[in-house]
Amino acid sequence: MGSTNDQDRRVKHEQAIALVLFVLENASAPVSIFVADGHGELVAAATMDGAAPDTRLNAQRKAYTAARSYARSTAELAAKAREDAAERASFDPFFTFFQGGVAAFEDGRRIGAVGVSGLPGPEDDALARSAIEASGLSTFELGGSSTRNRSSE
C-alpha cells in the first residue's frame, strides 16, 4: 500500500537515468550500475559492453544493501559489521559488504541508492558517489545514520 510519503522517498526515473548516464560516461573500464529506490527495487540499470556478467548481480546487491540498511554505504556497513558479530548475523541475506553501494539522499531523506561493480572497490565507491553528487543528490542524511536493518519497513 503506497502512500504519498512512500512516493516522496523514491529516486525519480529522471534522476536514475542521470545517475546511469554519469557512470557510463565516467567509468574507467566496463561496469554495471544499478539504481534502486528506497526499498532496494530497480529504477534503472545498465551493463557496459565488456563488463563481466557477475557485475550485474553485484551492482544490484550493492544498491539494495545501501538502500535497505541504515548505513550510508556498503563500505560503512562492512566496517560496522566487523565490530559486532551479533549484528552481522541478523542482516538480510542479500546484503553485501563489497564497496560500491552508496545511498542517495534528497533534502536529507534517503530516496534510493546506487550500486557500481566492475572496478576495484574504492573506485566503484568513488564513481557511485560522484554520480550521486553530479545528479544534484547527496551522499549524506540529516541527523546521522545507524546500521539497523530497514527491511521491516
Q: Name the residue range of residue 85's domain.
A: 4-134
| 143 assigned to some structural domain | no
pLDDT band for position 90 (50/70/90)?
Answer: confident
pLDDT at 147: 36
pLDDT category of residue 5 using cuts at 50, 70 and 90: low
With respect to residue 68, please indicate whether it lies within any of the assigned structural domains.
yes
In this prediction, residues 6-19 reach a mean pLDDT of: 86
Residue 25 falls within a domain, yes or no?
Answer: yes
* Per-residue confidence (pLDDT) for residue 139, from 0 to 100: 95
Quickly list DSSP for 104-140.
EEETTEEEEEEEEESS-HHHHHHHHHHHHHHTT-BS-
Instruction: Give the pLDDT confidence score for residue 83 in this predicted structure.
Output: 87
Query: For residue 55, what is the domain's CATH number?
Result: 3.30.450.150
Grid coordinates representing 77 are 556497513
Q: How far apart are CA 15 and CA 58, in angstroms?
A: 21
CB 95 within 8 Å of CB 65: yes
Q: Which residue has the cell 529516486?
A: 11
Is the residue at 26 inside a domain?
Answer: yes
Is residue 143's pLDDT more than 90? no
For the chain, how many structural domains are there in total?
Answer: 1
As a whole number, the mean pLDDT across the chain is 88
Mean pLDDT of 21-42: 97
40 in any annotated domain? yes
pLDDT at 85: 76
pLDDT of residue 121: 98
Is residue 54 domain-resident? yes
pLDDT one-digit tens code per residue, 50-75: 999 999 999 999 999 999 998 999 99
Q: What is the pLDDT of residue 22?
A: 98
